[in-house]
Structure 1
Amino acid sequence: MQVHNVELTISAVRPEQYPDKYYPEIALSGRSNVGKSSLINVLINRRKYARTSSQPGKTQTLNFYNIEEQLYFVDVPGYGYAKVSQKEREKWGRMLETYFAQRKELRGVISLVDARHEPSELDKQMIEFLHYYDLPILVVGTKIDKIPRSKRNKAESIIRKTLQLNKNDGLVLFSALDKTGKDSIWNWIEEKANIRDGRK
């Protein structure tokens, strides 16, 4: 998709705050500092639209980005940041579970992992959670520009095996630096959101 118009519609914490335009939604999840904001910026052809922060745990709401009046990207709070209190983590957990379990407009989830390392226990829990709700999943392995090309197949294999991905789950290796994987990610989004050639 060629993206020209993007708007942060709302930062929501409760269902009554969700947008009422009912466009298809694609959620993006991942550990704090995994590169979620960088991925969003690459997908929408902006440099700093989605804020990249040096302070992990900064996103505390569901941020709905209206893309071309056709779909929403929903940036969800990053997980696994130690300085966030247990009470806060539980509150985020309830907010995410409500959204993932109840939101009819949700068409799929892009779950980011750092391709340089074996996925963590929290990464595995997120995939198990998404499998439980039978949501379409695209795992995106980030920061692959830091992995030699000769080792990328191995990195992909480790991600797939550790997360116990099934045949319906997608996996794309991505670099915000050289845009590797961008087109494949957009193809998945367009398929799940039922968007073709800029039309729903």
Structure 2
Amino acid sequence: MDGSMGRRPTAWMAAAGVLGIAAAVLAGLLAWRWDGGGGAGASSGGPGWAATGPRAPTHEHADFAVVIRGERFDFGQPQFISDTEGKELSEHVHIHAPRYTVVHVHSTLVTWGEFFQSLGFKLTDPSFPGVTDDRTCLELPSGEKLCNTASERWSFIANGVPVDGLATVNIGDLDRVLFSYGPETPGEALAKYWGLVTDQACIPSELCKARIPADEPPETCSGRGTCTR
């Protein structure tokens, strides 16, 4: 037998070994990003939930509603509210009186996942690379997990259009967004619950001042580009 032919199996084995090591390293890097490097399994707040890149100051607002089995979740509870008495749940994004269905965004690149995490929730959905529909869940501050099942599912509606997920999507100025969990399809959730999403973000943005009730005290955080506290 030719000597070069006799060496071929050894060469192939060496090449396979190198490829195996490279694959293991890559898998390790991906696992690190997934569980601790800012992916869907990240447990820390802040930029891990936002798109990568530097942030800049801004001041924008969006309307939202979370509907669970036909009931709109109450974000007017004290634990979810940032106020003027030193309690600020996040420097980047918050809600406060008197409009608990309006998100105030103070930094660019703030995502819906980051907003929810600042309130003690954890949203995992297909907007994360590699997350399939069957792994979509919202963990509540109580620890209860609401996940897609054969009988109930999450529907995400952004500005009247069903989308696959929103956790890694940046909050846009004057967006209106619905998060619905129940037996409904996205189309059914849109038809039944879209009316629960307010359209009040223009008020703190000072784009529709005529809609502000005359007897309402001034908001502690209003305007575009600035925030008075």
TM-score by length of 2: 0.26
Larger radius of gyration between Structure 1 and Structure 2:
2
TM-score by length of 1: 0.28
